[in-house]
Amino acid sequence: MEQTGSRTEREAPRGPVAAGGGEPGARAVPLDAARGLHMAVLGGLLASDLLLVNGSLLFGFWMRLFSPWAPPTPPWISLGTDHLVVMALDSVVVVHLFRVAGLYRREVYSQVLHQAWLILRAVSLGMLLLLAVSYVSKRNVFMERRSILAVAWATLCLGEILLRCVAASHLLRHPRWRRRAVIVGAGERGQFLAEELASDLRSGFDVVGFLDDAVPEGTRIGGIPVLGGVASAGEAVARQGAREAFVTLEGLPRAEMLALIDRLRARGLGVRILGDFFDTITGKVQVETVRNLPLVPIRERRVGLLDRLAKRGLDLALAVPALVLASPLLALAAALIRLGSPGPVLYRQERLGRCGRPFRIYKLRTMYEGAPDEGYRRYMTEVVRGSAPPQPDGRGGLVHKPVGDARVTPVGRWLRRWSLDELPQLLNVLRGEMSLVGPRPPLAFEVEVYDAWHRRRLEVLPGITGLWQVSGRTRTGFEPMVLLDIYYIENWSLGMDLAILLRTLPAILSGVGGH
């Protein structure tokens, strides 16, 4: 790993960084106490947001219609049941928009300008939705005068920004709110980040140690101890009460970076990466700053219930008609398989699905019945381990799959070239074992030789098609395939699924990578 700079020492803590809480004997804030404060802050913010949303609407209504400087109000305008219903609905909508924007995440509280932008965007969207509902329903609730919503918008934005600025100024200095952190990499970048975190109280972090395989454990750098290497410092990190890790290493390949992130996450640490790593990260980039230093937080993508229902709905809406339309083609393929070689039409094979659960996948049989698979297993094990050289495909390209496999029938070769053997997997989609789009389901022997970060492919339902298939299929090596799968998992959206489905047919018709 990264070598340290000239400030390495073996003496008592000194310098500005020592104030960051790096003393080994320092007492960590109990996790339950920190969580209790966080929940109390969340509750207070939620209650304040509800009051501000309703108060801003009422203030806009009063200011425009009933204040001393407002023009005379027609007698038919008054606050009624419709207004109360709209206030309740608007409260739910705005709070949901705040949650989606990340305004209840503790990391946002120290980012004043970013937080203000998120508030402006969420409140504006909430008001636009209120306008749309009013227009569609033909009921002018809070629209008796057009300026009512303008006053409410300005009041709510100003109130939310002031509320969060005041809350942040107190919270970020509270010892229970501050989080203990370790820095991975004790070189110049790591030392510089430690000094910046110690100098900026608004960061909310106290650095308690470095992790670096190249520096002896116990060495002090700017007053902060080296707790050990990345792989061996688990107990020391837990003893220090660290809950965050900042990665400052340079030049790591993408696979090693992902493996490092997984190791840190496995210890319960939140992970942030110091600049210049955007090409190594597969998730969406959301930059935080500490004294103008760019930090990329690595967050797990959480797909909500509504997202899962939408994806399942898309699967069913497309799989049923696709199966009906493909029936004549399946019947023709079945007849050809029967004529070509003895054996069943359908081939059933055990694969691993979401969370490693086994299931039976359906395919059209493309091999001779009873063909041995020992050679295939050996080759694919080497592919996963990265030791198998790619094979020439006979068309000027290289593929990561056995070429000229004698087990494949002539009909099977044709079916595989155009991916027609995959059509029966629409049945797996209807059974809920697969999705139309997702990582390809692996075989059990492949998973046995996975590295830890490879297993992230198993976090979602496997799919018939995916980024791998539309990016060259077997011409894409195993490690790039896993990176594509992780990118899909971290950036999933219904729009991405539709885009992949639209790109799948051209990829199949091109025949590139089909074996």
Residue 421 DSSP label: G
**Cα gap 212→8, rounded to integer Å:** 13
Whether residue 12 is predicted with pLDDT greater than 60 in this model: the reply is: no
Tokens (6 digits) for 452: 């830890």
**Cα gap 201→171, rounded to integer Å:** 11
CA angle (332 as vertex; 329, 337 as ends), nearest 5: 120
As a whole-number percent, the residues of the chain with pLDDT over 70 amount to 76
Q: What is the mean pLDDT of residues 407-424?
A: 91
Range in 269-283, 314-328, 448-462 with the lowest mean pLDDT: 269-283
Q: What is the pLDDT of residues 46-57, one digit of tens each?
A: 899 999 999 998
Whether residue 111 is predicted with pLDDT greater than 90 in this model: the reply is: no
When mean pLDDT is compared over 121-130, 184-193, 316-325, 464-473, the highest value belongs to 316-325
Whether residue 192 is predicted with pLDDT greater than 80 in this model: the reply is: yes
Whether residue 511 is predicted with pLDDT greater than 60 in this model: the reply is: no
Whether residue 10 is predicted with pLDDT greater than 90 in this model: the reply is: no
Q: What is the pLDDT of residues 118-140, one digit of tens each?
A: 899 999 998 888 888 777 777 77
pLDDT score recorded for residue 6: 41
pLDDT bin (cut points 50, 70, 90) of residue 13 is: very low
Q: Please, what is the average pLDDT of the chain?
A: 79
pLDDT score recorded for residue 176: 66
Q: What is the mean pLDDT of residues 368-377?
A: 86
pLDDT bin (cut points 50, 70, 90) of residue 398 is: low
Residue 463 φ then ψ, to 5°: -130, 165
**Cα gap 252→260, rounded to integer Å:** 10
Amino acid identity for residue 321 in this structure: P
pLDDT bin (cut points 50, 70, 90) of residue 78 is: low
Q: What is the pLDDT of residues 434-457, one digit of tens each?
A: 999 999 999 999 999 998 889 989
Taken in order 357, 360, 365, 371, the sign of the CA dihedral is positive
Range in 20-29, 195-204, 286-295 with the lowest mean pLDDT: 20-29
Whether residue 469 is predicted with pLDDT greater than 60 in this model: the reply is: yes
pLDDT bin (cut points 50, 70, 90) of residue 236 is: confident
pLDDT bin (cut points 50, 70, 90) of residue 357 is: very high
Asked if 180 contacts 206 with a C-beta cutoff of 8 angstroms, the reply is yes
Whether residue 280 is predicted with pLDDT greater than 50 in this model: the reply is: no
Whether residue 482 is predicted with pLDDT greater than 90 in this model: the reply is: no
Whether residue 493 is predicted with pLDDT greater than 80 in this model: the reply is: yes
pLDDT bin (cut points 50, 70, 90) of residue 89 is: confident
pLDDT score recorded for residue 314: 93
pTM of the prediction? 0.61
Nearest to 184 by CA among 316, 272, 311: 272
Q: Which residues pair with 205 in a beta bridge?
A: 179
Tokens (6 digits) for 296: 């990329």
pLDDT bin (cut points 50, 70, 90) of residue 37 is: low
Higher local confidence (pLDDT), 489 or 4: 489
Whether residue 319 is predicted with pLDDT greater than 90 in this model: the reply is: yes
Nearest to 110 by CA among 242, 16, 201, 17: 201
Range in 202-206, 238-242, 418-422 with the lowest mean pLDDT: 202-206
Asked if 4 contacts 187 with a C-beta cutoff of 8 angstroms, the reply is yes
Residues 139-172 as b or e (16 or more Cβ within 10 Å = b): eebbebbeebbebbbebbbebbbebbeeebeebb
When mean pLDDT is compared over 97-101, 112-116, 187-191, 422-426, the highest value belongs to 422-426
The DSSP annotation for 132-192 comes to: HHHHHHT--TT-SSTHHHHHHHHHHHHHHHHHHHHHHHHHTT-TTTSEEEEEE--SHHHHH
